[in-house]
Structure 1
Amino acid sequence: MKLNNILIKILIPVISAIFAFIIGAILISAIGGNPGEAFGYLFKGAFGNAANFGKTLVKATPLIFTGLSATFAYRCGVFNLGAEGQFVVGALTSIWISTAVDGISGVPLIILSLALGALAGGIWGAIPGILKITRGLNEMIVSIMLNYVAVLFMGYIYTGPLREGSVPQTEAVNDALKLGRIFGNNVHTGFLIAIILAVIVYYFLFYTSKGFKLRAVGLNDTAAMYNGFSIKKYMLMAFIVSGAIAGIGGSIELHGVQYRLMSGFGTGYGFDGVAIALIGQLNPIGTVLVAYLFAILRTGANTMQVGTGMPTAVIDIIQALVIVFAVAGSALVNLPKVKQFFTNITSKKQTKVVEV
């Protein structure tokens, strides 16, 4: 039965992506395009050469962080919709550290900046957690509201105290504070940090006692409470760690790609992370793969538009369809009759094995 569950969780996002691309092909045909040609340009733009492949990995990096942030929180049964705000707060802390700290530079300052960015994200994530466990407030509403607070505060920073001359943006971090490059000149070391973090989160959730207890709280908090688990402690921990993951993602995006704060920084990453986590079946490794799929769609969209004239909105539709099909598929396989169907299939297979 466990093998069947794993297989189902793998098949849901794969089948969802296939169906989304099929409908996308029908849509392209309906507006007079050639689906084969369009998808050819899409994948060529995403990884047709080393430079494009590197761009795709760079675009996947912040999505991995916000996806892991949502995954960690949801595994504990709490809904952190504030990853965008935590992402922004991490970047805000990093730009302040990068411009205000004297007497330290280079790699030590980058490490300090990333660490404090993670800390800031964790503190920002703790706010809805504390309000939930102490006052019973809905964490989804609180975390969404905090997104607006973070973005508006960022606007104050880059148009006020840290404004660069007459331009509404902060001064760029100096070259010594930019993340090093790997795989040529495109991919920064933040991508490796994201992959390492995904492995750590996976190991913690599925191979440690603390991770087991956190998942137990997420599956059934009442049963976990009667088994002596500290429900509130694990919920708060989930919010803090989730926020810290998003915060370090914002710091890495600042030091690796954008180098400065300006209008639009971090926009959409938080809610994309939620979608990626759900499509990836709340599995850190699945989250990484789905984040890469989203990055492929975004990197290749412009190449497809230039090569075929197809609007990039087609890719947005495909991405939305992947989300819809994945969520619908997950809901479908959890229906009692569907579960019973797979249980019956497994029982028949086991019976046949015994008879042989």
Structure 2
Amino acid sequence: MADNKKKAAPSKKGALSEEQLREKRLTIITPVVSVLLALIIGAIIIACLGKNPITGYAAMLKGSLGDIGKIGKTLERACPLIFTGLAAVFAYKCGVFNLGGEGQFIMGASASAYFVLKFGLTGPSAIAVGLVVGIVFGGLWALLPGILKITRGLNEMITTIMFNYIALYFMEFLYKNVYSDQGLPQTPAMPKSAHLLDIGPAHFGVLVAIILGILVWYVIFRTSFGFKIRAVGMSPTAAKVNGFPVRTLVLLAFVISGAIAGLGGAIELFGKTPFRLADGFGSGFGFDGVAIALIAQLNPLGAIVVALLFGVLSTGGTMMQSVIGVPTAIIDIIRGLIIIFAVAGMALVKLPKIKAYIASLGKNKKAEVKA
């Protein structure tokens, strides 16, 4: 009787089942193993080039985390990646494949630069207007493919990529024609009084990025709005049957995702040298953000950690090249391998056979304990 009562006793409210705990552990282990495998293969490649991989990795760490100045540079390099990573996480949680983070990032920065230069803004007013404009125009740039998706059923992966090119050429038009700096292909630098303040070794935008990551995590996992977003992402049909406004939520996911990326663009403009629009501004940040979101298993806090890792790789790569004489392309290879292993691992652990195997391991352990 006592045993039966124990079996019938309900679990604590909010407690995860053993299967859920195993899945949660796997979501943490998969990216960690992916990073380790990528570093091991990177070490093999470095060794094949006749260089010492241990010396190379030590140089990379020294170049990115060796002193306060290098830590600040690493944080600033990771900052835009945090924003585009969070933008991708939020969209993907709603089942929206927003590949337009780069265009939204660029559009936010372009609109901020235009308003500041057009109205001659300086000081805190330039920063406040620039950041707000970046948020608004980033959101609007994502709204357009969102409308095309819910009204015409157009694939958002295609439309958001196309909008990236439009944003890129719009920025080029600004810095080559509208606000060219003495005929050079760049805009004038933002006023010195409008540069973001330094907080420790990095600019204030890094702190904003980290706080935003925590806020996005809270909204997604601790609010009813976040629950609705996740419900639509898991099954739009089931969400619609339960009375959720699916089309509105999809549109909001687009707008919020774009607003996050647009804010990142404005912060990059006001926070980092050369404080102007020019060729290459924002290049690659959008697709790196998508990769970061996938490696982080669509967890906003995980996206911050992965973005910091990418910052370490990017900043330390130059030092590794100068110390052991290998090309910085090695870093790109390692980064690519991390993405491949993480995505493949995430897909692998969700296969029915793998899930069944993991569940059987748990049952075997229970049987051993009872025996």
TM-score by length of 2: 0.93
- 2:250 equivalent to 1:200: no
Paired positions, count: 352
Q: How does 1:1-356 map to 2 (within 5 A)?
A: 1-101=19-119, 105-184=122-201, 187-257=202-272, 258-349=274-365, 355=370
**CA deviations over 1:19-58 (Å, ceiling 9, x no partner):** 0000001101111010101111011101011111111000
Alignment partners' CA distance in 1, 2:108 and 2:342: 30
Question: What is the DSSP-based 3-state SS (H/G/I as helix, E as strand, rest coil) of the residue aligned with 2:190?
Answer: coil
Moved more, 120-129 or 339-348: 339-348
Q: Is the 1:90–1:248 Cα contact (8 Å) retained in structure 2?
A: yes
Amino acid paired to 2:114: W
Alignment partners' CA distance in 1, 2:277 and 2:254: 25
Question: What is the DSSP-based 3-state SS (H/G/I as helix, E as strand, rest coil) of the residue aligned with 1:151?
Answer: helix
Amino acid paired to 2:191: N
**CA deviations over 1:326-355 (Å, ceiling 9, x no partner):** 0000010000011112222334445666x4
Q: Structure 1 segments of 4 or more deviating over 6 A? A: none
Alignment partners' CA distance in 1, 2:362 and 2:218: 28
Moved more, 161-170 or 322-331: 161-170
Question: What is the DSSP-based 3-state SS (H/G/I as helix, E as strand, rest coil) of the residue aligned with 2:244?
Answer: coil
How far apart are 1:180 and its partner, in Å? 0.2
Alignment partners' CA distance in 2, 1:211 and 1:108: 33
Question: What is the DSSP-based 3-state SS (H/G/I as helix, E as strand, rest coil) of the residue aligned with 2:186?
Answer: strand
How far apart are 1:168 and its partner, in Å? 1.0
Alignment partners' CA distance in 1, 2:365 and 2:255: 44
Residue ranges of structure 2 left out of the alignment (5+ in a row)? 1-18
Q: Is the 1:98–1:177 Cα contact (8 Å) retained in structure 2?
A: no
Question: What is the DSSP-based 3-state SS (H/G/I as helix, E as strand, rest coil) of the residue aligned with 1:163?
Answer: coil
Alignment partners' CA distance in 1, 2:247 and 2:302: 28
Instruction: Note the aligned Cα RMSD (angstroms).
Output: 1.3
Alignment partners' CA distance in 2, 1:178 and 1:252: 9
Question: What is the DSSP-based 3-state SS (H/G/I as helix, E as strand, rest coil) of the residue aligned with 1:168?
Answer: coil
How far apart are 1:100 and its partner, in Å? 2.2
How far apart are 1:101 and its partner, in Å? 2.6
How far apart are 1:223 and its partner, in Å? 1.0
Residue ranges of structure 1 left out of the alignment (5+ in a row)? none
Alignment partners' CA distance in 2, 1:46 and 1:348: 45
Q: Is the 2:123–2:191 Cα contact (8 Å) retained in structure 1?
A: no
TM-score by length of 1: 0.96
Alignment partners' CA distance in 2, 1:307 and 1:45: 10
**CA deviations over 1:76-102 (Å, ceiling 9, x no partner):** 001000010000000011111221235
Amino acid paired to 2:251: L
Identity %: 50
Q: Is the 2:122–2:191 Cα contact (8 Å) retained in structure 1?
A: no
Amino acid paired to 1:45: G
Alignment partners' CA distance in 2, 1:244 and 1:345: 44
Question: What is the DSSP-based 3-state SS (H/G/I as helix, E as strand, rest coil) of the residue aligned with 1:167?
Answer: coil
How far apart are 1:238 and its partner, in Å? 0.5
**CA deviations over 1:100-140 (Å, ceiling 9, x no partner):** 235x6422331221011010000000111000000000101
Alignment partners' CA distance in 2, 1:134 and 1:127: 11
